[in-house]
């Protein structure tokens, strides 16, 4: 483990471009978790019962709890956590402005589908990271505290009570998918290091165009599976 201000010896010999890319990646994930906390805490105001309000507040706390280990890894890699997050504020904030839920069910679908899309994308990128960072990212994506069960139960209950809501939520899920892909493209366009992380280098494997296509196919399939879990068409 590196001390504050020192680069982790496990990656000290890495190409500077790789280190910059990993710090960028951890920065965007960190900022995403911070905004997820803010969004879930705000959406808790839409909850119909105190139990639901507490469940969403707990989900928010879980997201915020993921930030400290990500920041620690940025420090170990020689970066500053707040400088690492700063470049991604505009794109992520814009995504959330465009996808503000109108009501409680839309907030639940966004928490499940929108965050799931981001998690899947970061898991894909994690395959190209050093082992310590890869395990940290994957663990962060996997820790939801069982909240998925809560969301699925609530959304299915809403649809059962009023089947017409299902059509609206299905359209909402498709919109989230489109906005998330637009956001990912914007972030990649702004940060060449992240694109380089995926495409690889002389001593590091990457994805060619065909492999990138397969990756986005997997993302789309997982999105469809989540929508089906909610009882919605993708």
Summarised one tens digit per residue, pLDDT across range 123-133 is 888 888 889 99
What kind of architecture, by CATH, is found in domain 16-230? Up-down Bundle (1.20)
Confidence at 1, pLDDT banded by 50, 70, 90: very low
Split at pLDDT 50, 70, 90, the class of 222 is: very high
Q: Where are the domains of the chain?
A: 16-230
Is 60 exceeded by the pLDDT of residue 12?
Answer: no
Three-class HEC string of the chain? CCCCCCCCCCCCCCCHHHHHHHHHHHHHHHHHHHHHHHHHHHHHHHCCCHHHHHHHHHHHHHHHHCHHHHHHHHHHCCCCHHHHHHHHHHHHHHHHHHCCCCCHHHHHHHHHHHHHHHHHHHHHHHCCCCHHHHHHHHHHHHCCCCHHHHHHHHHHHHHHHCCHHHHHHHHHHHHHHHHHHHHHHHHHHHCHHHHHHHHCECCECCCCHHHHHHHHHHHHHHHHHHHHHHCCCC
| Tens digit of each residue's pLDDT (9 = 90 or more) over 148-178 | 889 999 999 999 999 999 999 999 999 999 9
């Amino acid at each position: 483990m590196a001390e504050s201000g020192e680069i982790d010896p496990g990656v000290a010999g890495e190409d500077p471009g790789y280190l910059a890319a990993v710090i960028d990646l951890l920065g965007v994930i960190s900022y995403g978790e911070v905004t997820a906390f803010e969004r879930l805490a705000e959406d808790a105001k839409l909850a119909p019962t105190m139990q639901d309000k507490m469940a969403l507040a707990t989900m928010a706390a879980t997201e915020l709890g993921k930030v400290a280990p990500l920041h620690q890894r940025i420090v170990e890699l020689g970066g500053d956590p707040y400088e690492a997050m700063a470049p991604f504020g505009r794109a992520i904030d814009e995504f959330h402005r465009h996808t503000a839920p109108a009501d409680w069910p839309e907030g639940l679908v966004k928490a499940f589908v929108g965050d799931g899309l981001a998690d899947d994308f970061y898991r894909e990128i994690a395959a190209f990271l050093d082992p310590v960072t890869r395990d940290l990212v994957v663990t962060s994506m996997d820790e939801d505290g069982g909240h998925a069960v809560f969301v699925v139960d609530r959304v299915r209950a809403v649809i059962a009570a009023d089947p017409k809501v299902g059509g609206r939520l299905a359209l909402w899920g498709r919109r989230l998918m489109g906005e998330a892909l637009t956001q990912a493209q914007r972030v990649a366009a702004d940060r060449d290091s992240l694109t380089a992380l995926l495409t690889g280098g002389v001593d590091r494997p990457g994805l060619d165009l065909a492999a990138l296509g397969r990756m986005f196919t997997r993302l789309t399939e997982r999105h469809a599976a989540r929508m089906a879990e909610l009882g919605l068409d993708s």
